[in-house]
């Protein structure tokens, strides 16, 4: 077996395997079988039933045992921008399943990430337990808020500025808003290709895109949404609700409220804290329903590289030895000394006794900001052997808002 970059000629096979895995109801020969245009940061990989010596030109698509893709993202972590591999489209045909091929594929992908200097990875799981076995941990929750549009009246701002439709050629202006709005850990730095082929192009129906400009003509917010029929109701499904400030948020809510003659409900997607604050602004808080759901998963791919690349809080200085358990990435499995000083850190393997023991899932949550060391210890996900040294680790990685907004 051999892990390879997927040749161009095998893209139809890749598409067929992914479609069978995620949309089998479309049948073996759907009418709309054209390849979806993807951003240029997308990469396709395959596990082939061939020897490593076989050249690419002799590969046969029928030799594919499993496939996957990934996006070469740049993501915000601890206030800086870092490489992150966004894993997607993990699929195998039914005749090759339950034989460990997907496991080999994902292990090879993690090895590739490490070799390329991509020390973080994230994904949206089909099953959380499956990806926990590969060292991924849930990064954040995701909220869906549903409210009748007329009920938004008291949450809206007074009419001002103007709304207008937007197109993909205006992506630089939208990107300015996005960077001011999406400030949480795991926010993605969007490329032009992502704007054109993902933000403006959804899976089944392309969205409407509207922006709000203030009185000076500056774009301060935007929405991407579709109108869908569900159970004899029309839903305004707002997939992205980007507001640079509180006033812009009120104006965007006004835009949604003004659809009360067209839709029965507005559905907003976003962080749990943002969603749970909306009912407080309504005259009848019970008019809104909020559902909190599990979100994406994240993992550290290379402990040494990630620890050395991150920025650290001012005033934190000291060293701590951390023992990490990682069944899938042997280069992470062991004890590391983290030395923090002046906002930077050095990280190297050590034989010293650990002050803290934890697995790579817990470490990933600690590093990106999802959980504090104290919270991990209370849950039994971290064992503290040296309280004094552990304080250095806790101070180096305080919890902070984490929210991966991109679907992939």
Name the β-bridge partners of 164. Answer: 211
Give the number of other CB atoms < 10 A from CB of residue 48: 23
For 348, other C-beta atoms within 10 Å of its C-beta total 11
Confidence of residue 103 (pLDDT cuts 50, 70, 90): very high
User: pTM, whole model, 2 decimals?
Assistant: 0.94
Is 5:14 a contact under the CB 8 Å cutoff?
no
Among 363, 355, 349, CA closest to 390:
355
Neighbour-count burial for 197-213, b at 16+ CB within 10 Å, e otherwise: bbbbeeeeeebebbbbb
Please report the pLDDT score of residue 228 as a whole number: 96
Give all domains of the chain, ordered by start, each with its CATH number. Answer: 2-118 (3.40.630.30), 142-294 (3.40.630.30), 303-396 (3.30.1050.10)
Cα(80)–Cα(405) distance, integer angstroms: 17
Contact 295, 131 (CB under 8 A): no
Q: What is the pLDDT of residues 231-278, one digit of tens each?
A: 999 999 999 999 999 999 999 999 999 999 999 999 999 999 888 899
216-219 — which CB contacts under 8 Å span 24+ positions? 219/173, 219/174, 219/176, 219/177
State residue 29's pLDDT score. 85
pLDDT level of residue 224 (50, 70, 90 thresholds): very high
pLDDT for 33 equals 75
Q: In this predicted structure, what is the pLDDT of residue 157?
A: 79
45 forms beta bridges with 5, 68
How far apart, in whole angstroms, are the C-alpha atoms of residue 117 and residue 122? 15
Q: Report, as an integer, the average pLDDT of 52-70.
A: 95
Instruction: Report, as an integer, the average pLDDT of 162-173.
Output: 98
Please tell me the predicted confidence (pLDDT) of residue 34.
Answer: 79
Cα Rg for the chain, rounded, in angstroms? 23
The answer on pLDDT for 31 being more than 80 is no
Separation CA 400–CA 405 (nearest Å): 16
In the chain, what percentage of residues exceed pLDDT 70? Answer: 100
What pLDDT, on the 0 to 100 scale, is given for residue 208?
98
Please check whether residue 77 is in contact with residue 367, taking contact to mean a CB–CB distance below 8 angstroms: yes
Give the Å distances, CA to CA, from 366 to 138, 271, 327, 374, 402.
11, 19, 18, 10, 11
Confidence category of residue 204, pLDDT binned at 50, 70, 90: confident
Residue 36 pLDDT level (bands cut at 50, 70, 90): confident
């Amino acid at each position: 077996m051999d892990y390879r970059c997927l040749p161009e000629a095998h893209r139809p096979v890749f598409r067929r395997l992914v479609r069978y895995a995620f949309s089998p109801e479309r049948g073996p020969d759907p009418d709309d079988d054209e390849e979806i245009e993807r951003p240029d940061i997308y990469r396709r990989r395959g596990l082939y039933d061939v020897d490593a010596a076989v050249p690419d030109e002799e590969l046969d698509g029928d030799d594919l045992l499993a496939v996957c893709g990934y996006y070469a993202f740049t993501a915000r972590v601890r206030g800086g921008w870092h490489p992150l591999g966004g894993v997607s489209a993990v699929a195998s045909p039914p005749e090759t399943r339950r034989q460990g091929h997907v496991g080999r594929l994902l292990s090879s992908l993690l090895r590739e990430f490490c070799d390329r200097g991509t020390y973080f990875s994230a994904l949206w799981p089909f099953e959380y337990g499956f990806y926990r076995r590969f060292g991924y941990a849930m990064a954040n929750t995701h909220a869906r808020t549903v409210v009748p549009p007329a009920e938004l009246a008291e949450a809206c701002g007074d009419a001002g500025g103007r709304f207008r439709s937007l197109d993909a050629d205006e992506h630089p202006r939208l990107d300015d808003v996005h960077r001011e709005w999406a400030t949480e850990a795991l926010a993605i730095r969007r490329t032009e290709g992502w704007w054109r082929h993902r933000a403006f192009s959804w899976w089944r129906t392309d969205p409407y895109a509207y922006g709000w400009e203030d009185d000076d003509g500056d774009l301060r917010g935007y929405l991407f949404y579709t109108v869908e029929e569900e159970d004899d109701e029309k839903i305004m499904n707002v997939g992205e609700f980007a507001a640079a400030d509180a006033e812009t948020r009120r104006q965007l809510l006004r835009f949604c409220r003004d659809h009360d003659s067209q839709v029965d409900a507005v559905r907003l997607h976003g962080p749990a804290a943002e969603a749970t604050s909306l009912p407080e602004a309504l005259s009848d808080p019970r008019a809104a329903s909020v559902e909190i759901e599990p979100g994406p998963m994240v993992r550290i791919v290379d402990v040494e590289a990630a620890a050395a690349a991150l920025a650290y809080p001012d005033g934190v200085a000291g060293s701590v030895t951390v023992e990490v358990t990682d069944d899938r990435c042997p280069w992470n499995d062991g004890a590391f000394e983290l030395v923090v000083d002046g906002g930077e850190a050095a990280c190297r393997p050590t034989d010293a006794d650990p002050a803290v023991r934890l697995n790579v899932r817990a470490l990933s949550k600690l590093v990106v900001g999802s959980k504090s060391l104290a919270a991990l210890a209370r849950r039994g996900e971290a064992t503290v052997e040296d309280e004094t040294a552990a304080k250095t680790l806790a101070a180096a990685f305080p919890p902070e808002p984490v929210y991966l907004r991109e679907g992939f």
